[in-house]
Each structure stands twice: as C-alpha cells, then as structure tokens.
Structure 1
Amino acid sequence: MATTIRTVCAHDCPDMCSLLVRVENGRVVRISGDPDQPFTAGFACSKVNRDGELVHSPERLKTPLRRVGVKGEGRFAPISWNAALEEIAARWRAIIAESGPLAILGYAYSAHQGLMNRGLVNGLFHALGTSRLQAGTVCDTCCEEAWNATVGPIGGADPEAVVDADLVIAWGADLMATNVHFWAKLEAVRKKGVQLVVIDPRRSRTARGADWHLPIRIGTDAALALCIMHILVRDDLADRAYLAQQTLGFERVEREVLPRFTPDRVAGITGLSVADIERLAALYGKARTPFIRLGEGMTRLAQGGQALRAVALLPGVTGAYGRPGGGAMLMTAASCELDYNVVRKPSGPASTRLVNHLRLGEALLEMSDPPLRAIFIAANNPAVTCPEAGKVRRGLMRDDLFTVVHDPFLSVTARYADIVLPATTYLETEDLYRAYGAYYMQYGQRAVEPQGEAWSNVRVAQALAARLGVTDPVFGQSQAEILAAMMKGARGPSAAVAAQDLPAAGPVRIAPEGGQQFRTPSGKLEFYSAALEGQGLPPMPDWQPDPEETRDAARWPLRLLTAPGYFQSHTAFSGVPFLRRREGAPFCVLHPDDARARGLADGQSVRLFNDRAEVGLKVRVSDEVQPGVVLVPGQRPDDEAVSGTVNMLCSDRYTDIGEGATYQSTYLDVKAW
C-alpha cells in the first residue's frame, strides 16, 4: 500500500517547506518538495530529504524509561506510559504542596515548529503557574527586540519580492545553510545582472558564490551601517522626503551620531578598506530597490541589538522600504496574526518568576525561594545548546532535581533525566505551521503513525493536564478544535482561510499588501526610540568598543565565531548517520597563520580553551576565516567530538537589547590536544 502525504517541515528553519512524503507499508520511503509551494519551489534541503531515516532510526527511543544509573550516565530501564505519567504527576503535586508551583520549570522550545506541539507544553505550565521560561534568548530575542524597537512587531520585506530588487545584500546570513530557498530565488534575479553582496566575517558557501564578499570583523556591523549612512548624507543620496514622512529622529542621528563614522575611522574598526566602504555605500545609495537579508548571527554578541538597529535603518535613509523589492527582512512571523494564547496561555497568572533560557544553568544552581526542584524539557537539548553548557550540566546533575525529558532520542540532556519519554518526530504528528522567513502558513498532516510508543507533545501535555486537574478546554479538545479556536482570533491575511478548510488548503500565502508597515509607537521607522530610552538603553544606533570584549581580547588571542553546519546545523539531525558522515567529526576552522604559529596541522585533534572550559575538536586549516578567528560550525553532542561541546566555552552574558546570548563575544585559544 503506497500513498503520498502533503505535510510541512517542522525543523527550526525560516523556509518552512511544504513536503510530499511517499509512504509504503507504514514507512517513509521518499521525501520531496511540494511543487505547489511557490517559495520553497518543489525541493527540500539535503537534511530534510533524509528525515525518513530520522523517523525509522534504530536509535529512536521505543518506550518510556526510568533512570537506574547515575545522572548523566545514561542507564535506564523501560517503564509503561501510565507508570511514567503517574510518577510525574505525583512528584509535581508533592513539590507544589511543599514549595509552591514556582519550584517547577516547564521548558519546551523549537525542535518542533508546529504551533500546537510547540505551544501546548508551555501552555500547561502557564496554567499551573510555575516558573516560566523566557524562551528564545539563545536564538533571537536580541534581534527581535531590536527590530521591534526600530520597525515594530511586524514582518519585513517579502522575500518573493526580491525579483524586483536591483541589489541584494546578505548581511550576516549564510543563505545556503539557513535560507536555501531564498538563495534559489536569487539565482534567477542574478541572471538579470543584479549583484549579490555578502557581508560576513567568514567566506561561507554563500560568500563564495556571491559577486562580492566583504569580510567584516566580528561585532562591527553597526559601525559599517552608520558609515554608509554618513556617506549617503555626504553625497546627497538620502531620500529627504521619505525621511520626513515615514521616519522619526533621523535629524538627531545625522547631527549627533553620523559625524563620528567617517570612512577612515570605520575602515580601522571593521578591517575593510576605505575604497570598499565607499564602493558599498555608492552601490547602495544608487540602487532604487536594494534588498537586505538580515542574519541573526550578527546579533549574538554584546552589542548585537545596536548592530541590528543600524542595519535595519539603512533602507529608511534611501526610501527603499517604500518600494517593492526594496527594504530589509529579518523575520516574517509577526505578520501571522492568530490567537496563540489559546495554546500558550490558556489560564494562569499573567506574570510569575521568569527563567532566562540562556541562564538555565544559573537558575538550576542558584535560584532560591524556592529553588527549582523539577524541570520538564521538550523539543530542545539545553545541555548542548545553552551557553555555559557545563553549568547547565552541573545543574542537571543535582540529585534533588526531578528531571523529565521528552525526546525522540537519548540526547545528551536526556541522559541526566529521571524519566525519559519517547517523542514523535514531526512526520508522526499533525499541526499548523507558520514560516518565519516567508509569508506562508500551512497545515501539515501526519505522514506515518508514531513509531514504537512515541507520543506527541500535544498528547503528553493533555495527559498530564488530566492527571493534574487542569481543566482549560484546550487540554480536552481535538487538534481540529484547537485549530478552530486559534483561527477564531485570526487577523489580517491570516484570516482569509476558514479553519475547517486549512487541512486541505496546502500552503496559504499571507503576505501583507503594500509597502513596509511600521508598528512602532510612533507608527514610523524609529531612528530615535523613546521605548529604548525608557529602558535605560541608547535611543539612537551607535557603535562603541565593548569594555568586556576589549579586556578578554587582551588576554585571549582568538575570537570564536559560531555558525550552522551544512549537514548538522543542530542536534535535531544527529539521529541520521548519513548526515553525520557528510558533516564529518565536529571541527573548528583556523586560519593558516594561526595554525602555523601553534604548530597545528589540518586534521589534528586540538583543544579550544578559556577560563570556562576546554573542548576537543578536529582542526581544519583554511583561509575561510580571518586571522584571530576560530570558527566552529554546528552544535554537536559530546560523543561525536574529541571532547565536550562548543557552548561550554561561551558565557551566559546578555546582549545589549533583549537579554539574548553572546556566543560571538567569546575569546579563547587553541593548542594541540
């Protein structure tokens, strides 16, 4: 018996591919792109093409497990679902009775992008009034908050409008790794003579395929953007009418900030030549519809918010936001307006104690009154992905911390659990999805039945709610009923399709009409943000050397650059041996000058170290990176590496805006293992 199911890729990727899944006798035999999805255009990436192997991997967890060994050792014995759920509910009830709900933390994140499977677990803990995860700080809160303060909580330029662009800049975005379908759109545009410029500290695959690569120093993007503004003003390339009508505060930036960002000074800051800076500014200023694709990576450092603000403001100087094909895009999800509170906040207190995602280790080790006594983790692997990963593991080692992990595999984090629950992959679930790198939403059908005894996040949340006496309607409804409730509150283009029609509708385009809208307090593009000023933050974009980075750079000779791997972007793909082999053993990239100075040869085992930790990787010697930089692609589990995982080296310091992670503000050295 063979059939083809249309569904949606649920991995944490901006493209949100519509997929056609060929199923024979209950097994996924082929995955291909859906030709009826205009943006993802009938192809899937090399990772998702292998997701059938993820579903049917012999490494999948088959049953619930209870720990029988030491935490972290990974020794478990099978138990039944009923026994597991009863034990979890009993332990939580006892903890709440003794210490109150704040002693429990629910933690579900982005390994499943379905709005129900991602949202309902956290909705359960919202209803229980437990300590609440301030999610996303490891990824995107810095860039999102900076975007919101500048443009507002709304999506950016439509990536499909790039066909009307006359210049494209990938600023801190490796499109081939993280936005491959946008790259495909670009190929058609470039055949018409449109240039692609890549601004990135490394010569990524995207940079190698571009017309021009500018290897900027890490953390200096704001200085370059402000220098471009300086030149646009100097050369009378600013659109004064647009600035007057659609922006707020440019005259103050022009008067108080831009004079300091001359080409000579910024060349010294960024490592770029004056000639290249002048050339870039002239290209941008003379383009009528320049399109900037912003990457999140350039915001994962101490002054990441300032960097995002400065670059996102550039299209306002030339009026590009007002023309189809022009503007900037960070993400699009804010323009998909549904009633998310149905699943995320069904009941419970409006506010409670917060745990910052990136400071999970600190919370587990230091939080008091009450201390955290239980944690439930789903759709994430914090023992690998969080900064200060060593601190996270020390917290998870606590004998008095009752830990439950819901995962398809025995992840690094799951090895610290008291109870492990087998989770479905997205191909074993149904859900509603929204893209965050394109303007589409789509309902994804289940392709195959859950493997073994795997349960979805939705099923687990509803089963625990029943045992804990949580009676909000969402915990007793079918997914069709939950979908109807979410869609009842839909606004804008998202409301164009009725809930009952969504499962069969395929990809639904939800792009807003007209030019870029601004949802800031002023309703304009804000060069001057009173909202930031009210938080004690600089209201205008700027660049200053960061004192802590300056101090660390004086002590440690190398700066860390992290980026997604092409075949192992994160541990969600660790369960596919083919992809592990394609990526190779976890490695770092070192410039030939730095390798020579340390007597290191390509392929050698090396140790990366600073005051926080040391990890062991293989080294690749390449001028892909600049001298003084060590690149580590992907987040990989310990047992694939020589030793440890890269985020052990990174601090849990906050960014300037949004309390985000500062991975790229890490300094270290490398020596032979």
Structure 2
Amino acid sequence: MWKRAVCTKDCPDTCGLLAKVENGLIVSVKGDPDHPFTAGFICQKAGHFPEHVHSPKRITTPLRRIGPKGAGQFEPVSWNEALDEVAFQMQSISSEFGPQAILPYSYAGHMGLVHRNAGHAFFNRLGASHLDYTICSSAATAGYEASLGSGPSTEIQSAAQSDYIIIWGSNTLTTNIHAWPHFKTAQKAGAKLVVIDPYRNRTAQKADVHLMIKPGTDAALALAMMQVLIDRDMIDHDFISHKTIGFEKLKARASEYTPSRTSEICGLTENSIISLAEAYGKAKSPYIRTGWGPARQLKGAMAMRTIALLPALVGAFDKPGGGITRALGGAPSDLNSLIRPDLGLPCTRTVNMVELGNALTKLTDPPVKMLYTYLSNPAVVAPQSRDVLAGLAREDLFVVVQEMFHTDTTSYADIVLPGASFLEVTDLYRAYGHNYIQMAQPVIPRVGQSRSTLDIFQDLAARLSFKNKVFSLGEMDFIENFLVEDSPYLKGVDFEMLKSGKPVRLNIPSNPYADGFTTPSGKVEFYSQTMADQGLDPLPDGQVLRDPDGGNKYCLEFITPPHHFFLNSAFNEIDALREKVGQARVMIHPETAGTRGIADGDPVRVFNDRGEASFLAHVTYDTQIGLLVAEGLHWPSLSPGSGVNQLTSQRLTDMGKTCAFHCNLVEVQPQAN
C-alpha cells in the first residue's frame, strides 16, 4: 500500500513522497507524481529512507551514560527513568544556577512546523537561555531584505520563460534538484545558463558559462556588472525612476568597481565581467537563482544585498521569466501559538548557536550546566569543533540528546531519548523552494519506544507542573491554530484540504513584486536608510574580508559546500551512501598541490590555528589555485579525520549573525606516516 508523505530534510524542494508499506514496514519510497513542483522524482538520498527508518542501528529505547564522556557507553532505561532524571536535573540546575544555565540547541533536522518548533514553548516557560537560530540563512535573509524586503521571491517555475539564467552560489543539481527541469526547459529554448561559483561543481559542469570567482568577492562582481550596465546605458530608466530609491548614490558607488579593478579582486578576466554584464543587460527576461554560498562569508549579507539589486537596474521584475529567487513559501509564518514567546522572561539572555563552543567553554554568570540537543548534531555541524567538543566533554555539563542514531553528539550525552522519524508523526510542511504547503500523517507506527519531539516536551512539561494550555495540545490542534493566522498567503487554504494529504497551493503570485516591495520605502532600496540608521554602509559595498585568524601564516582559502550524497550531517548513518562517498576528500588545484609535494590520492592534513582535519587529496582543475574545497560533513566517528568544522570559526557575518563557513584560511601538507 502506497501512502503519501513529505520529505522533512533541510532542502528547498520539500518533496512529495509515496511510501510503500507492507506489514507495518516501509519497503520503498518514491516521488509523488501528483506534486506540482517535485513531480514524481526524488534525489538519491531520499530513496534510502526505508533503511533510515528501519536500520538495525536505530536507537529504540532511552539510554543512560555509564562510561566516561565521549566514550558512547550506555545502558537502556525506561522512559520514566529517563524523563524523571532530565526533569530532576532541570530543577536542580535552575535552583542552584538559575534556569538560564540550561541551553537548548536545535535546528533543522526536521522541517515540519510542529515538531521543529515543539520545544520552544517549553524552554520559554522554563526560563532557559534563548538560542539565536542563525547558523544557516540569517545573513542571506538580512541582506536580501535590505534591498527588496521580506516575503517570497520570484517563483522558480517562471524561469522556464527566461532567456538568461544566472545560478549564483548554488549547486542546483545537489541542493535544489527540482529547479533544474525549469532551467533546462529555458536552456533548450535558447537561454544561456551561467554559473557563478568558486569551484566547478556538478551544476557548473552543465552550464554554458562557468565563472570561477574567488570566495567572498560576489558583491564586487555584482557592482562591476552594475558599473557596466550604467556606463553603457543598459538600464531600465522607467523602473528605476518609479520603483527604486538611491540610484544616483548607487551610480557613484558602482563607478568605483570598473571591470579592470574588479578582475583583480574576483580572479576573473576583464572581458568575462563585461560579457556577463552585457548579456544580462541585453536579455529580455534575465533571471537569477541565488544560493547560500555567497552569504557564508564575513561580508555575506552585503553580498546577498548587492546581488539582489541587479534585477532592478534592468527592470527584470516586470518581465515574464525574469526576476530573482532566494526563498519561496511563506505561510504560515506566525507560529506564536506553538512557540509562545510570551511565556519567556523579558531579560533572558540569548546565545548565538554559531558560538556554541564559546558558550560551553567561556560563558559565565551563569555557566551552561545543561545542554539539551534535538534535531541537530552540533559535534559535527557547529563551527570551531575543538571548542565544541571540549565543552561537551565537561563532566559538570549534563547533556540530553534526542536522536534516532548514535552520532558524534550522542557520544557525550548523559541521557539519550529515541526520536520518532518524520514518517511516524503528523506535521505540516511549508517549503522554501516552492509555493505549496502539505500535511503528512504517519505511514507506520512508531518504531520501538521512539517518541515525537512534541510528545517528549509535553511529558517534560507535565513533570515540571507547567499548566499552560499549550502543553496539552496535540499535532492537529497546532496545525488548526496555524490556519487561523490572518495571512493573505493562506487565503483559500483550509484544514480539510490539508488533511487530504495533497499539496495545496498558497495564495502567492509567481511574481510577488508586481505590486511593489516590502521595504520601508515600498521600493527597491539601492540606498537603505534603515542600514544607515544602524551605523552600516547604506550602499552596496564590494569590500572583501578574509579570515583574520592566524595572521599571515595561512594563504589558502578553504570552503565547505554540500556533498551530493549528504545533507549537512544527515545520511552519514546510511552505510550504502557513506560507502559511496568514501573517505573525506579535499579538492586541490595541481599547482597548489605540486608546490607542496602532494599527489592525487595522498593522505593530507589541512590545518590552521583552530584545528586540523585529515583528507585524501583530490588533485583537480575543478578548483582554482589557492582554493581548497571539501564537500560535505563527514562524521569524524565514522571517517578518518576530525571533521571540516575543526577549521571554521565562530566569527559572525556583517548582518544576520550567521556563521562565515566559507571564510577560512588554512594550509595543507602531506600526512606524516
């Protein structure tokens, strides 16, 4: 029997799935052909969901640590014993140090609205430290909104009508595969497909043009494009006059970024910059798909802000097939009925999740005495791993981890709680890569003694005698509450439609900018008074900031983009995928490798002052001189080496306070025998 489901992974596509169930077991998963965007096909990772759910390595009973921290030695206990211990520790720590000594840590291990956010009301009521959820997209969001405002952007499907597509900092064939058919449709009709990315990834290999830009120079390139467009009068004067502000100031700033100067900054030829700008300006319906890569630099928000201004110069928003896509979806956006921020204390401290290592090793008044982790694997995904692991190893830190598998993080847990999979719970899924919303209900009973995130927190709330109504509601209650939101996006969407399990189109036009922009001025803001009021540069800025740590000891750039067979740290638990990926590799240009005596396949160590990681060398022209590329997050516990986040820092981006994952200076050398 085939049952509808929705992929829960942190991917813009939010695929409609069909799960084949026999005798209570999932035996196969495929794409739902009736989903209007994902259209019946799925990535290779999703095909392994049966192994994920029914793995013999899955944790199916609560566990209590019996060995030293980090050893991963546990004994099974009952749910009552486990939750009683967690509740006791919360009360004891709150009594001695105050509730802010308790820090929750979670993110996007599950993307359903109910279970992803199910712990927030509990920790607000508890008075725990607030976690600032910034590790992924906050810089991109802040920069983009400074230029165009909030809300959904150009619908991806419309790009099929474009005659010039720029994929800027996105490996679409790995991270947004269902956008590709629309880009291919345009390409087959004659559109040029340009990829701007520091290395030749799967998507760049399929492009008509690949511009191998230096990391962190995206804003400079966008400004150079503006300079050419303005200088050669390839701009839409009417659009600029009526729908933008600050053009004359922008014109002066862009004049500083001539193609000649910018070619040295970006590592591109002057002619390639001019050709890019001219082709964009001549196109009848130019379209840009932005990824998150440009925003993972110290000036990442400014990079996104600057790229987002390009369509306004040529009036692309008013042209069918033209525009720019960052994120889609958008409803329901008010989750306060579930999160209940009103239950929190007004002066509760906030800890940025990027700075977890500092929080666990340096924070005082009070120190963090309990870390409660769910829907995340911070031992692998958080930056500056050495500090994170040092904090997790503290004997005076009580660590609770909700998980399906033994990860690098569970090794440091005092209590492990077995979590239910997305195929065993009810939830509502909104996408950030299309404009459909969908409810999914369990396709199988829960495996073993696993429990959902919501159930666990409701049970803990009862143990702590929290009486607020929010702690007695179920999944369906919250979903119905979401639909009460007064949002134009939800017009025509009701509970019964969603209960059918079919994807429902939100009330979002393919061009959400047709009626204006949600900036303070209601226009595209070349000049942002809001940024000026915050003491920030109100104009686009092409300044490049490099990793400041280590002085002049390190000269190689190091970036960590996604791997085709992993998603963040997920799917390492699938043996077949991990074996297909093999040992972690680092891409090195032949000239960079040659000067260091490194041959293809050699074991190497990449290092800086923050730590070191081991790889096999992949010597290739797919990267550029001076740039090392390591795809994916391998679990160090399952792969030789210490993990790429030994090398990344806890420094924050210019806006949005995101991690600058792609801003690292390192050195590489052959591994000593």
Give yes or no for TM over 0.5.
yes
In structure 2, relative to structure 1, the CA distance for the partners of 1:288 and 1:473 (3 Å cut) is farther
Superposition deviation, residue 570 in structure 1: 2.3
CA deviation string 1:227-282 (max 9, x = no partner): 11111111111111111211121221112x11101110011111111111111111
- The one-letter code of the counterpart of 2:278 is A
Q: Which moved more, 1:385-394 or 1:505-514?
A: 505-514
Q: Distance in 2 between matches of 1:499 and 1:491?
A: 15
CA contact (8 A) 1:338 1:494 kept: no
Q: How does 1:457-606 map to 2 (within 5 A)?
A: 457-510=453-506, 512-513=508-509, 514-516=511-513, 517-546=516-545, 549=547, 554-606=552-604
Q: How does 1:620-639 map to 2 (within 5 A)?
A: 620-639=618-637
- The one-letter code of the counterpart of 1:105 is L
User: Are 2:203 and 1:206 equivalent residues in the alignment?
Assistant: yes
Which one of the candidate residues 44, 47, 66 is aligned to 1:46? 44
Q: Which residue of 2 aligns with 1:73?
A: 71
Superposition deviation, residue 388 in structure 1: 0.7
Q: Which moved more, 1:37-46 or 1:638-647?
A: 638-647
CA deviation string 1:462-487 (max 9, x = no partner): 11111112223232112111111111
Q: Which moved more, 1:600-609 or 1:47-56?
A: 600-609
In structure 2, relative to structure 1, the CA distance for the partners of 1:550 and 1:462 (3 Å cut) is closer
Q: Which residue of 1 aligns with 2:605?
A: 607
CA contact (8 A) 2:383 2:646 kept: yes
Superposition deviation, residue 492 in structure 1: 1.3
TM (norm. structure 1) is 0.97
- The one-letter code of the counterpart of 2:334 is D
Q: Which residue of 2 aligns with 1:418?
A: 414
Q: How does 1:354-393 map to 2 (within 5 A)?
A: 354-393=350-389
Runs of 5+ unmatched residues, structure 1: none
Superposition deviation, residue 569 in structure 1: 2.9
CA deviation string 1:67-109 (max 9, x = no partner): 1111111111111111000111111012112222111111221
User: Are 2:12 and 1:14 equivalent residues in the alignment?
Assistant: yes
Q: Distance in 2 between matches of 1:574 and 1:142?
A: 27
CA contact (8 A) 2:328 2:431 kept: yes
Q: How does 1:299-310 map to 2 (within 5 A)?
A: 299-310=295-306
Q: Which moved more, 1:344-353 or 1:321-330?
A: 344-353
Q: Report how many aligned residue pairs link the two structures.
A: 667
Q: Which moved more, 1:276-285 or 1:613-622?
A: 613-622
Q: Distance in 1 between matches of 2:528 and 2:30?
A: 45
In structure 2, relative to structure 1, the CA distance for the partners of 1:193 and 1:303 (3 Å cut) is same
CA contact (8 A) 1:239 1:319 kept: yes
Q: How does 1:396-411 map to 2 (within 5 A)?
A: 396-411=392-407
CA contact (8 A) 2:4 2:501 kept: no
Q: Distance in 2 between matches of 1:623 and 1:275?
A: 21
CA deviation string 1:570-590 (max 9, x = no partner): 222111111111211111111
- The one-letter code of the counterpart of 1:607 is R
Q: Distance in 1 between matches of 2:520 and 2:612?
A: 46
Q: Distance in 2 between matches of 1:522 and 1:552?
A: 43
- The one-letter code of the counterpart of 1:466 is A
User: Are 2:248 and 1:251 equivalent residues in the alignment?
Assistant: yes
CA contact (8 A) 2:164 2:192 kept: yes
Superposition deviation, residue 550 in structure 1: 6.9
Superposition deviation, residue 18 in structure 1: 0.5
Q: Which moved more, 1:173-182 or 1:100-109?
A: 100-109
CA contact (8 A) 2:136 2:658 kept: yes
Higher share in helix: 1
TM (norm. structure 2) is 0.97
Q: Which residue of 2 aligns with 1:188?
A: 185
Q: Which residue of 1 aligns with 2:139?
A: 142
Q: Which moved more, 1:84-93 or 1:639-648?
A: 639-648
What is the SS of the residue equivalent to 1:268?
Answer: helix
Q: Distance in 2 between matches of 1:663 and 1:132?
A: 23
- The one-letter code of the counterpart of 2:573 is G
User: Are 2:668 and 1:670 equivalent residues in the alignment?
Assistant: yes
Which one of the candidate residues 159, 162, 172 is aligned to 2:159? 162
Superposition deviation, residue 628 in structure 1: 0.4
User: Are 2:271 and 1:275 equivalent residues in the alignment?
Assistant: yes
Superposition deviation, residue 511 in structure 1: 5.1
- The one-letter code of the counterpart of 1:593 is E
What is the SS of the residue equivalent to 1:594?
Answer: helix
Superposition deviation, residue 166 in structure 1: 1.6
Q: Which residue of 2 aligns with 1:26?
A: 24
Q: Which moved more, 1:489-498 or 1:401-410?
A: 489-498
CA contact (8 A) 1:216 1:270 kept: yes
CA deviation string 1:518-560 (max 9, x = no partner): 21111111111122222221111111232x5478584213110
Which one of the candidate residues 172, 194, 197 is aligned to 1:197? 194
CA contact (8 A) 2:557 2:663 kept: yes
In structure 2, relative to structure 1, the CA distance for the partners of 1:623 and 1:25 (3 Å cut) is same
Q: Which moved more, 1:637-646 or 1:38-47?
A: 637-646
- The one-letter code of the counterpart of 1:109 is Y
Q: Distance in 2 between matches of 1:412 and 1:169?
A: 38
Q: Distance in 2 between matches of 1:61 and 1:549?
A: 40
CA deviation string 1:445-469 (max 9, x = no partner): 2121111111111111111111112
CA contact (8 A) 1:107 1:122 kept: no
CA contact (8 A) 1:73 1:415 kept: yes
Q: Distance in 2 between matches of 1:473 and 1:486?
A: 16
CA contact (8 A) 1:339 1:487 kept: no
CA contact (8 A) 2:604 2:668 kept: yes
- The one-letter code of the counterpart of 1:343 is L
What is the SS of the residue equivalent to 1:615?
Answer: strand
- The one-letter code of the counterpart of 1:600 is I
In structure 2, relative to structure 1, the CA distance for the partners of 1:315 and 1:351 (3 Å cut) is farther
Which one of the candidate residues 216, 225, 231 is aligned to 1:234? 231
What is the SS of the residue equivalent to 2:662?
Answer: helix
- The one-letter code of the counterpart of 2:174 is A
Q: Which residue of 2 aligns with 1:345?
A: 340
Q: Which residue of 2 aligns with 1:100?
A: 98
Q: Distance in 2 between matches of 1:132 and 1:496?
A: 35
Q: How does 1:167-182 map to 2 (within 5 A)?
A: 167-182=164-179
